[in-house]
Amino acid sequence: MDPKHIRNFSIIAHIDHGKSTLADRMLELSGAVRKRDMKDQLLDDMELERERGITIKARAVTVPYTLDGETYQLNLIDTPGHVDFNYEVEKSMQACEGAVLLVDASQGVEAQTVANAYLAIEADLEILPVLNKVDLSHARPDETAEEIENSLAIEATDAAAISAKTGVGVEEVIRRVIERIPAPTGDPNAALRALIFDAVYDEYRGVIVYLRVVDGTLRKKDLVRMLGTGKIFETVEIGRFTPKMTAAPELRAGEVGYFVSNIKKLGDVRVGDTMAIKGTEVKMLPGYREPQHMVYADFYPTNPGDYETMRDALETLSLSDSSLSFEPVTSDALGFGYRCGFLGLLHMEIIEQRLEREHDLDMIQTAPSVTYKIVKADGEEEWVYSPGALPGPDQFEELCEPIARVSMLLPTEFIGAVMQISSDHRGLFIRQDHLSPTRVQLMYDIPLAEIMYDFYDKLKSATRGYGTLNYEITGYKADDLVKLKILVNAKEVDALSAIVHRSRADTRGRATLKKLRKEIPRHLFEVRLQAAIGAKILARESIAALRKDVTAKCYGGDISRKRKLLEKQKAGKRRMRQVGDVDIPQKAFLSVLGGEDK
């Protein structure tokens, strides 16, 4: 294929604006998939993706299309829309010259629309605005086009108006992709340079590398070298996604495809690396940054015997998801487990569900925590990934928390409620932009820990589901933060510890104790629950002891006989309280870690 007839582009949008449906229609119109093989969300092959109607993993597909008698090769990448999977969007843009910015004409511009459009602008891509769902009775295409121009400064007066579900206007989108998105500029006769933009693990074939050939030609049986790792492999098979993997004799400059070799570990392939023919000297392509983990949580198997099984399951998941990290961790209360790093809360939820479904694991998950930074007296900085690992207050000068620049898009009538929620969560107002008479964008700097706890739920409730948010970490800021300890019978339960602002510690501690009191069963001795900062006790709850009526067997007789039995019982309970262990059920952990009562 002549590079002049190749178009590489991705579809970007907010979650649930119809990216996967538009990809389905494009595959249908081009004839790449037969009618009988067609199904909704064809490119979303994960069970969770289909069930929840979201895209988690970016998917590439090669579509042949004939326009005005000439055949073009369209390399389309369907990307996720949720803020947690920005990394997937960023990866896919490295392999493209253009992007279709899809906006729901009934919902208008939303937070992730803006974020993804900025990613495309930074990557210097040609952006084609497209208005979807114009067939709905409450669609407002003119107002949405105005919002695109006001919020993104992208010309949208002639934006294509389509319905991805019915197929109306999709041919016009394909025509615009061919006419407006530039062809790749690589030279097929130059030395090979290929960008690795993704990799997945197949149980039978090893690692399958997704690549975009920038210069030169990649052929079967070539010996290739990874410039970043220095590893050398032989190309056993190369091909394209149509949408199934289809072998091809070669991939030329500008084309997107895959290659299979004898690669057994995903660690041998680095996403963002450059691939060249062995023995040739070429300049490395600009890659992209490693994924930045925002949220950490510990997973512990309910059955201690499942520890090895959990490790194997996490290793398998990390082969298909390069943005997941994990390391072993131990807890006095919960035993052996793993601390995992995630891109966000949805990413954490997806991994948890995949562990339960695909690997049949029953586990306890600790409260998600963010990465904190401590500054010592000599100026040295250290990272703290969990509250249990925080040293005593005498061992550091400052405790800094990550601050997120939060962009919220919402209808104008909810401004007051959202501003109140933001200030309640220690937010600092930055600015307010009116995108149209009915839509407004609010910008706040809010600690990431506050966003994770219950901010998103409150935003959705206050805006009746119309509010959307996007955030990016802007840096770390020192504040009056303390470690809130939960003590059960004077023993600290590290899984329930949390780092909170001093002003919130009392409220958070009391709420935690109330939940624990409901969930921990009564024992034969009194159980004391306490919330503390250092040596200072903030709150206390008690679970009364189960009492056996030891005087039931005394029928009449002297009162001293009953007193003797009661004193004996009291002494036994005192001894039991000193040596007895409190059994905390899994349900108690889950109730505490579920956020505030709604």
Q: Which long-range contacts (CB under 8 A, 24 or more apart) does 143-148 make?
A: 143/108, 143/436, 143/438, 144/103, 144/104, 144/105, 144/108, 144/109, 146/435, 146/436, 147/103, 147/108, 147/109, 147/435, 147/436, 147/439, 148/101, 148/103, 148/109
At residue 54, the pLDDT reads: 63
At residue 412, the pLDDT reads: 86
- What is the rounded average pLDDT of the residues 103-107? 86
Distances (CA, A) of 31 to 24, 37, 63, 148: 11, 11, 8, 32
H or E, element range at 469: strand 468-478
Strands 6-13 and 70-78 come out as parallel
Q: Tens of pLDDT along 239-251?
A: 888 777 888 888 8
Closest to 83 measured CA to CA, from 511, 334, 452, 524:
452
- What is the rounded average pLDDT of the residues 199-227? 83
Whether 238 has a pLDDT exceeding 80, the answer reads yes
At residue 598, the pLDDT reads: 35
At residue 471, the pLDDT reads: 79
Domains of the chain: 3-180 (3.40.50.300), 193-277 (2.40.30.10), 295-368 (3.30.70.870), 373-478 (3.30.70.240), 482-592 (3.30.70.2570)
How many Cβ atoms from other residues are within 10 Å of residue 234's Cβ? 13
Q: Tens of pLDDT along 447-470?
A: 888 887 678 778 878 887 777 777
Q: Tens of pLDDT along 465-505?
A: 777 777 788 888 888 888 888 888 888 877 778 888 888 88
Q: What are phi and psi of 61, to 5 degrees?
A: -150, 140
State how far the Cα of 3 lies from the Cα of 72, in Å rounded to an integer: 10
Q: Tens of pLDDT along 35-88?
A: 545 555 444 455 555 555 566 666 778 888 888 788 888 888 777 766 667 767
**How many residues are given for the chain?**
598
If pLDDT is split at 50, 70 and 90, which confidence band does 595 have?
A: very low
State how far the Cα of 160 lies from the Cα of 157, in Å rounded to an integer: 9
Q: Answer yes or no: are the C-beta atoms of 25 and 164 closer than 8 Å.
A: yes
Q: Tens of pLDDT along 183-207?
A: 888 778 888 888 888 777 777 888 8
Q: Answer yes or no: are the C-beta atoms of 6 and 254 closer than 8 Å.
A: yes
Indicate the SS3 state at residue 291.
coil
Look up the pTM and report it: 0.70
State how far the Cα of 210 lies from the Cα of 189, in Å rounded to an integer: 21
At residue 303, the pLDDT reads: 81
If pLDDT is split at 50, 70 and 90, which confidence band does 594 have?
A: low
State how far the Cα of 56 lies from the Cα of 344, in Å rounded to an integer: 13
State how far the Cα of 476 lies from the Cα of 6, in Å rounded to an integer: 44
